[in-house]
Structure 1
C-alpha cells in the first residue's frame, strides 16, 4: 500500500478537531498517511483523537533561518530532480506578485518536503489552500506527482484570487465544507468540476446522544441561572465583543451565566470589556480544553451561542464544527447568518439566527431563548435530528476515499 502525504499548517491543534477526526477516519478506511506539519504545536493539551492517529509526523523548518543547512541540503538535492526547472518557473512567477518572506518560506519548506519525501508515497494532499497549498503545489511540481486539497474558510476568503486560480488549475481535486466556499472556488476554477462540496460531519461515536434531562431554567432564579456556553478562539471573526455587548443589553433581573472555552489573542481584551460592562462576575473563561471536557460542558449547558462575523481582513468561519457538536447534544444554538451557518441552522426551526454585528438582535434572541426552556428543548431536538441524519463524518470519509481513488488512478 502506498502512502498519502498530508501537509498541515500546524499539528496537532485543539481548534482543528475536524482535521484530526478526518485523518483518523481515513486511516480507519484503509489509507496509510504520512503527516507533514509546517509548524510545531503550541497547545498544551491534546484531544484523545490525536493519540489514536498512527501516522508519523515530520515538522518542516518553521523559519528557514532556524535550519539553514537543512534547507540548503534540500535545495541541492531538489535542483538535481528533472522537474526542478518547472518548480523554479512557478515560484518566480508567484514571487513577482508576492515578494514576501512568506513566499520564500513556502518555497524552502517545499524543497525540504521534496528532498525528504517518503519513497513509498504517491500523492500529496493539503489541508488549507493558502500556505499549505503553496508548499504542496511546489513539492508536487518538483516531484512530478499529483496533489489535492481541502479548503476551509480563512484560506478561501483571505487569499488573492490569482493565487486561488493557480492552485485550482493545478490540483486534481479540491474539497470544501460550505456552499459559500464551494461557489467561490468554482467561480475561480478553470476546472469547476474538480471542486467538491463535502461537509466534515462528526464522529458520532464520540458524540453519543445526551441521555440526561436539562433543567427547565427560565432566568427567574438567581440561584439557578441559565447556563450559556460558547466554544471558539478569541479572535475577531468569532464576534465575542458583539456577544458581550448583547449580554450587557439583557434585563438586569434576568439570571444567566456565560462560560467560554478557547484560547486566542483577544482574550485579555474581552476580559477587560466584560469588566467595563459590569459582566465579569457572570462569566467564566475556561481557556483551551480537551474534547472530552468540551463534551461535558455541552451537556451541562442550556444554550450555545456563537455570533460569527466577517472580520476586517475578510476572514470568516465556514461552518463551525462546534455548532455541529453542540447540536449533536440537543443543545439549542444561537448564531448568525454568516457563511455556512445557515446550512446547518434554520431560524426558528432548529436554532436562532440573527444578522452579524447586531448586538441588539443578538440580545433579543438571547432573551427569547433564556426565558423559554420549551423553545430551547424544541430547537435543540430538531438540531440534533438534522446532525444525526446529515452530518455523520463517515459520508465525508467515503467521498474523500472515492476522490483519492479516482485522482490517483488518473495521475
Structure 2
C-alpha cells in the first residue's frame, strides 16, 4: 500500500506558520513519509530552525498558470484520460459556475499539475487550509482516487461560502480544526465530520525561563519604562492599530515602550499611524524575526499584547500560537475574547481579555497591568502552568499521526 502523504500548503516555508512546520516535523518523527506541495513560493527572508529539520521534499506548483503554461498543458495531457477525469472536471465546472473567478481557474490548473506529478507512492492527500489549498487538494484527490483530509484553521473557515465548506467537508475522510468555535461552525455544516485538535506548542523549543528577578517596572519612571511586546503580522485582524490608539490614550505619566515583531501589508500604515499619534519614539518595528530572536524578546518583555479582531471580510485568528509562546515564557498576556483565545486564556486568572474593538477597555487594561508588576507576575506564572499542562503539542501530534495512519490504511 502506498505510504507517502501529499501535503498541500498555501505557501512554504512561512515564518507565521510555525504550527504547520511543528506538525510536519512531528508527523515525520512518528514515522510518516511526506511530500510537500506548495501553491506559492516563500516570501520571508528568514526561516525557523524547525524548517531545516523537516526532511520532506517540496514541490512548488505553478503560482500563476501563465508562468508555466507548458507544465500545465503537459499535466492536462497526462491526466485527461484517467477514469476519474470527467467527474473531477464536472466538480470543478460546478464550482466555477458558482465562483466564476480567475482564482478558481488557477486552482484547477494547479490540481492538474499536482495530480500529474504526484508519485504512485502517494497514498493520501492532506491539506492545510480549507479555502484555496482545499480546492487544489480536493480536485487532485478526485483525479488520482486518493483519500482526502483537511486541517482547517482561521481565515479559511470564515471567508469562504458555506456551500463550499459543506461540500469539501463531505468529501474528506476526516477534518481537524484548532478551536472550539471553528469546530462548532464547521460541525453545523457537516455534523459529525470535524474533530477539535489544538495545535499546542513544542515546549522543547520554549523551555521554561530560568527564574528571573520579578520586574518591578510600573511605568512611573521614564528611565525604566514598562516593556510591551506584540508579535504578529501587520494585518488588520491583529488589531495593532487599536493597540496604538489605546497606547495614545494612556495618561502622560505612564511610561512604556512597545516592540513589534512581524512583517505584513500594513507595516507602512501602522508606522504612519504611530507617527500621527506621536508615538514613534516609543515604538520599535523589528520586522520578521526567527524563533530564537522572538524567544529572546519574550524573555525581556513585561507584558504581551495582541488585541485580535474580526476583519471586514470575516477573517479572524483562531488561537494565535504567539500567545502560547509568550505564556510559556511566564509573560503576562492581554488579548481579546475572540475565537479560541478564551480556550487558552482564562480572564483574570492566566491573563486578561477585553472585547474586540473596545479601545477604552484596552486602554484601561493596559494602564492597570503596566502599573501592577505583581499582578503581571501572577498572571504570567499561572499562564505558563496552564500552557505546559494543557497545550503540549505531543498529545495532539500522537493523535494526528494515528489519524494519518488510518487515512493511509
CA-atom RMSD, angstroms?
0.8
Whole-angstrom distance in 2 between the partners of 1:331 and 1:30: 35
1:11 matched to which residue of 2? 12
1:255 matched to which residue of 2? 255
2:144 matched to which residue of 1? 143
How do 1:74-93 residues align onto structure 2 when only pairs under 5 Å count? 74-93=75-94
Deviation beyond 3 Å, 4+ runs, structure 1: none
Whole-angstrom distance in 2 between the partners of 1:194 and 1:120: 27
Per-residue deviation, 1:244 = 0.4
1:362 matched to which residue of 2? 362
Q: Is the 8 A contact 2:308 2:338 kept in 1?
A: yes
Per-residue deviation, 1:249 = 0.8
1:202 matched to which residue of 2? 201
1:188 matched to which residue of 2? 189
1:259-289 Cα deviation digits (max 9, x unpaired): 0000011111111111111111100000000
Whole-angstrom distance in 1 between the partners of 2:49 and 2:311: 31
1:226 aligns with 2:235: no
Per-residue deviation, 1:23 = 0.4
2:39 matched to which residue of 1? 38
Q: Is the 8 A contact 2:124 2:407 kept in 1?
A: no
Whole-angstrom distance in 2 between the partners of 1:121 and 1:358: 49
Q: Is the 8 A contact 2:130 2:165 kept in 1?
A: yes
How do 1:338-377 residues align onto structure 2 when only pairs under 5 Å count? 338-377=338-377
Q: Is the 8 A contact 2:3 2:408 kept in 1?
A: no
1:96 aligns with 2:97: yes
| Runs of 5+ consecutive residues of structure 1 not aligned to the other structure | none
How do 1:50-199 residues align onto structure 2 when only pairs under 5 Å count? 50-189=51-190, 192-199=191-198
1:234-262 Cα deviation digits (max 9, x unpaired): 10100111100000011111111000000
Q: Secondary structure at the match of 1:87?
A: helix
Count of residue correspondences: 407
Q: Secondary structure at the match of 2:17?
A: helix
1:335 matched to which residue of 2? 335
1:333-379 Cα deviation digits (max 9, x unpaired): 00000111101001101000001111110010001110101100000
Per-residue deviation, 1:396 = 1.3
1:24-83 Cα deviation digits (max 9, x unpaired): 111111111100000000000010000000000000000000000100000010101111
2:309 matched to which residue of 1? 309
Per-residue deviation, 1:408 = 2.8
Per-residue deviation, 1:120 = 1.0
Whole-angstrom distance in 2 between the partners of 1:93 and 1:117: 25
Whole-angstrom distance in 2 between the partners of 1:167 and 1:220: 55
Whole-angstrom distance in 1 between the partners of 2:125 and 2:383: 36
